[in-house]
Structure 1
Amino acid sequence: MKIRRRIFGAAFLITAFLLVTILFLGSVMNLERKDYIEEKMSILSDLNEIQTYSMLSDVYGNRLACLAFKKKLTEWDKTLWDLGLKLERYRAATEEFQKDPFYLDQKKRFNENQVLYMAFLTKAKKDCEFDVSIVSFFYKNSEECVKCDAQSFVLTDLKRELNDEVSIFSFDVDLEITNIGLLQQYYEITEFPCVVVNEQPFCGMQDKSFIIRKMCESNNNSACERYAIN
């Protein structure tokens, strides 16, 4: 009887220890996620520099502003893309994390900064004749949009293949951000997923070859030759 009580007691202690360990690790992982995202979000304050570059354009002309734009836009593009992937990985990793107020706040800030960056990149593309394709992706939650995740995978593969030749922006319509709503109205987006390739909207699921063909209509990139698109 004493031995049985000892066994039960030991089992209870082991179970309690494992439970506490799991809860602690879960808490640490969430803190690490938050610390990482918070650190990366601070980098996005660099977007304020875009306003300075815009002023340089007004005062000194496009040549000086374009030199500044070209140097910084590559850095910002990689930062935004990497952070966007990180946020989506955390969203997919745990249902609780995507309901976290911190996560939602950071994702809203991320989407708002994407709108700002995309607007200035579009301006720089026109004023400075940058040879880069701009793709924006409008999506909703997977319950309402069963193909949105699949479209995201296609765009991730496209970005991996073309790297700096394309800038891809992902906009979560469910966040109900005013500027994203305005873009949605401007492009007359009523179906999801929806991609906008160099100012042309194409709603419904689009494969990589279709998107590349549309990109090649206005921009020449390395994929055009590989896919024999002129």
Structure 2
Amino acid sequence: MARKRFHLSLYVSAGIISFIIFISGVFVGVLVNEIKARSIEEGSKDVSGMLKDFETQLLLLDLFPSNSTCQLYEVQLRRLSGELGILEEELKEYENSRRIDFPEFLKMKEEYNLLLIKYWIFSENMRTKCNSTYLTLLYFYNKECSICNDEGIILTYYKMKLREKLLVFAIDMDLNLTSTKALMESFGVEKAPTLVINSQKFDGFYDKEGLRELLCSFGYLEEIC
């Protein structure tokens, strides 16, 4: 009888310990996701502040155009690109987590896409006003596009090769953003994937060699041409 009571007590203790471990795991997972979400939120605020500052700088560039001013702004543009890259990676990590808060994630992704579009606008202004040689590339994709993931991988490859010479802006067509719809209408984007390089539209999928040839047609890319 004593042995049975001992076994029962052991099973109960094991069950309690397992329950505590499970609850702790859930709590830690929620806490980690909360930390990730707050980090993304703070990163978005930082980038938004940088974009506002950059907007003022572009107005100054209209008043005081010079090569030295353009060089300074291009350095800041690269810094902004780095901050957006960090924000993108944090969004991917949050999306891949098991306990994602989808409404909150959707809100963060919409904010990120708005920042991307603003960054593209400033990059295009800089490119034309300063005769910059970097390329701006809008990449339109959606979740129904079966080959968009492959296109994204190829774009990432060339982004790594060309660094600041190629600025890639991945725009999610599924987001209900007026600015995204306006961009699509302006360039006549109707399907995914679609690329817009230096404001020129190219429909359909480009494999690794096809994209290399397309990028090289714009010049200035001795790393791959």
- TM-aligned CA deviation for residue 34 of structure 1: 1.4
User: Cα–Cα, structure 1 residues 127 and 199, in superposed 2: closer, same or farther, change >3 Å?
Assistant: same
Query: Runs (4+) of structure 1 moved beyond 6 Å?
Result: none
Contact 2:37/2:94 (<8 A) preserved: no
- The residue correspondences of 1:196-215 to structure 2 (distance < 5 A) are 196-215=196-215
Aligned amino acid, residue 14 of structure 2: A
- TM-aligned CA deviation for residue 98 of structure 1: 5.8
Aligned amino acid, residue 11 of structure 1: A
Aligned amino acid, residue 201 of structure 1: K
CA distance in 2, matches of 1:166, 1:146: 25
- TM-aligned CA deviation for residue 67 of structure 1: 3.8
- The residue correspondences of 1:52-67 to structure 2 (distance < 5 A) are 52-63=56-67, 65-67=69-71
Corresponding pairs, count: 221
- The residue correspondences of 1:18-57 to structure 2 (distance < 5 A) are 18-44=21-47, 45-57=49-61
CA distance in 1, matches of 2:119, 2:111: 12
CA distance in 2, matches of 1:64, 1:113: 26
User: Cα–Cα, structure 1 residues 70 and 208, in superposed 2: closer, same or farther, change >3 Å?
Assistant: same
CA distance in 2, matches of 1:203, 1:63: 35
TM-score (norm 1): 0.87
Unaligned ranges ≥5, structure 2: none
CA distance in 2, matches of 1:127, 1:69: 11
Query: Could you report, residue by residue, the CA deviation over 1:137-196 in whole angstroms, capped at 9, with x for unpaired residues?
Result: 11112xx22222222222222212221111010111111111111111122222212222
Contact 1:57/1:63 (<8 A) preserved: no
Percent identity of the aligned residues? 22
TM-score (norm 2): 0.89
Aligned amino acid, residue 182 of structure 1: A
User: Cα–Cα, structure 1 residues 118 and 54, in superposed 2: closer, same or farther, change >3 Å?
Assistant: same
Larger gyration radius, structure 1 or structure 2: 2
Query: Could you report, residue by residue, the CA deviation over 1:25-59 in whole angstroms, capped at 9, with x for unpaired residues?
Result: 21121022113212322221110012212211232
Aligned counterpart, 1:114: 116
- TM-aligned CA deviation for residue 222 of structure 1: 3.1
Helix, strand or coil: the match of 1:196? strand
- TM-aligned CA deviation for residue 199 of structure 1: 2.2
Query: Could you report, residue by residue, the CA deviation over 1:95-146 in whole angstroms, capped at 9, with x for unpaired residues?
Result: x426142x222221111111111111111111111111111111112xx222
Aligned amino acid, residue 22 of structure 1: G
Cα RMSD over matched residues? 1.9
Unaligned ranges ≥5, structure 1: 226-230
